[in-house]
Chain A
Amino acid sequence: MGEHRRMTAVDIKAAWSVAALKPAALSALQSYEIAAAATGQTNIGRWSVGR
């Protein structure tokens, strides 16, 4: 059975501070998508059907 820990106010504050480091332009992207964007692949998440 997994361990579930209740987040404390400190946890939430730190998590929020770390989350705030992510620029708004990347907010909808996952880590692998950001890594791809960093290499210049900027068509992430865009549909290419019919092209």
Chain B
Amino acid sequence: MIGGIDPNDGAALTDSVTAINTALTTLQRLGRSDQADTLIADVDPSSAYAVIAADLDHSEDWKLTAYARRYATVMADLARRLTSAAATGSTQDQDDAARVYGIKGLPGDVASLAISRRDAGDRVAAIDLVARPDQLGDLLVDAIRMATTYWRMHSLSRPSNLATTPQPMRSPRRIPTE
């Protein structure tokens, strides 16, 4: 304790500063620094400080108290705004990533889903549709077989929009030749 003041008295303000720094780091990582700048500018207390500075009716001690109250309020407000923006940004970032990987809306581990989705795409891309169009059908049959096994293992019902039996493939796309 220094000069009769308990350092823990500043916990709320310290918490605000910590929350601000954490949120700023998150927003910078998400590439949303401009949003952080806007929020900081929005809470600009300079006009309120100017009013206090121009006050001729009160003592310097009174002004110090007024500055301190205003500053604490501004920091708490900024912490709340930046934390909210960071949380929203993080959620949006996760959604964007899920869309990019083609796994948006699918339950399960994000990393595993993304890897599976990439592997599936690689397998399809590796097929020569002109020379071996039957491989695409084989791949679909395998996929449905594995999915059926998974559903049985986990006692899940089959989605109604998926055919019970693999349907024959349509004619493969033909690449026009000159």
Contact = CB atoms under 8 A, between A and B. Distances in A.
A11 B13 CA distance: 21
Contacts of A40: 65
Contacts of A34: 10, 13, 68, 71-72
Q: What's the interface size class on B, roughly?
A: 35 or more
Nearest to B5: A36
A30 B3 CA distance: 13
Contacts of A32: 5-10, 13-14
The secondary structure that dominates the B interface is helix
Interface residues of A, number: 32
B96 to A, nearest CB: 20
Contact of B74 (A21, A31, A36, A44): A21
A23 B12 contact: no
Q: Which of A15, A33, A35 has the most CB of B within 10 A?
A: A35
Interface of A: 8, 10-11, 13-15, 17-18, 21-23, 25-26, 29-46, 48
